[in-house]
Chains A and B, each alone.
Chain A
Amino acid sequence: MKFNKSDFDNMSYPVLSIPEDKTVLDRFPGLKIYREFQQDFARDTDKIHKYVILMYTSNILQSLQSLEERKIEAAKLAGFKMSHSRFDDKVEEILACRVPEINSLIIRVCCLERNEDLAELLIYEESYYRELKKLLDGESDKVKETRNNVRQFKEDIKELRKSLLNQDENKDLISKLYDYVEGIQLGISPEEIALAKKSNTIEDLIPNPSV
């Protein structure tokens, strides 16, 4: 192991300092309000929570240049065991972002950690499509300038996305991110509230401030 547990004390969710008899949700009960954290992965639930938090929030693991190396290190720190330099197939699937439920969890953690990046991404996406529409509709008087804008927005979006996903550009993960972004609304109209009540996700949209 290249790191000490104490190296992770400054994380927003210091999961490595949790006593052995406690889980991530015991230590951070506020996470329970998110349905992604309510998913049950049997006896791996707590390890998965730890892995996702270690891998996708800001911490010392970012000093590792290789994404693969970071994932392996995060999984080991989370408690997954290796055998002959390989993880169990299920764990490998998680690391490769091939488990949709866990990808949802990753997106939730990313958005919790980098809410501002997310907001910015929303704006850039909208601006990007607005500029793109101008080009397609032939509405722009300054085609060259608009084209440059589109290019610039695209670059910016790519950067933001990387930042948001903690440099992980896995396609499945990006796809999940966009699913999530498209689902984001203001969440303040009676219609949005009513839908959330009906789908039993109201506590995701409007968390209870007293909890």
Chain B
Amino acid sequence: MTEQASFLKPDMPSGVHVGRDVMLPEGLSDELLTGSLERVFAEDDNLEAVVVHWPSGPAYVVREDFLDTLKPEMRSVGGFGDADQLFLAGKEQLKPVKFDCPVDGQRFEVFFLNPGEIRICPQHPGVQLVAAVDE
């Protein structure tokens, strides 16, 4: 369960710079949570930490803590059913949509946004985020 992912910390870590704000829905599978954060950290080698804005509140992820959870994959097809993901349709290419807060311009990276879905700024209650103009 995502709530139990070891790299999610409830408090702002000291001594690291939190460089990005990520918005994720609750109840994500471990694979999707990992895939989303992997994409965020992959885009910036110097990104030390990110804050994940859940509907229920923020959590913090430090790069090193997150990387420690990534284990090498096996290059095998495995036994029956083990490798179904290799042969299923589609490909996981997780990519965030960037939104800004109209109040202070803070940038949020939103994953898994349904068409027409509105996101509210976690810092400014009731303020709808707007799609970033540089997107």
A interacts with B: no
**B residues engaging A (CB < 8 A)?**
none
